[in-house]
Amino acid sequence: VTHLIQGIEPSSAVEPGKARFSLLTHIKELFAMRSEPNAEMSVLRGRLERHLANRRRAVANEIRLAAVVVEGRLHQVVLANARAEGWQATVESLRAKSVTGEVSFREISAAESESIAARSDALGRVLVWAKARVLLAKAQGMLGEDSFLP
């Protein structure tokens, strides 16, 4: 039983959506059903409780970290979008000035190039943010039905 407890890795569920702690919880219930007191069982029960507590803390920390990453990535998306909008406004302003001959075609082309690069960067940051959201959802799936997080 000790070998079984040490070899359990709750982060590798067989079926998506299943509680990842279900095997550990089931073993814990089996220990609780045993009627006669036994010193070895008490030691094993204590190890199992500590292992469960450690895994829950590790998973909770992983979720918190993933949530912070999602928030940071979203902030980067907002900044990249603002930069892209700024370059687009610059292009429109330069085009308006080009009618009167105040700016050259080269200046407009350079601004358009920057605008395209800024939009591309914003789109890339959206994809990175979406990936971070998937990783957060994956981390949240590591908690079973007996989740202790508020």
| Nearest-angstrom CA–CA distance, 79 and 47 | 48
Predicted confidence at residue 33, as pLDDT, reads 61
Predicted confidence at residue 145, as pLDDT, reads 45
Q: Residue 38 — φ and ψ, nearest 5°?
A: -145, 130
What's the whole-number mean pLDDT along residues 73-98?
97
| Nearest-angstrom CA–CA distance, 133 and 141 | 12
Predicted confidence at residue 149, as pLDDT, reads 41
pLDDT at position 29 over 60: yes
pLDDT at position 13 over 50: no
Residues 106-145 pLDDT 10s: 999 999 999 999 999 999 999 999 999 988 988 888 544 4
Predicted confidence at residue 65, as pLDDT, reads 95
Contacts of 108 (CB under 8 A, 6+ apart): 91, 94, 95, 98
* Contact of 1 with 124, CB cutoff 8 Å: no
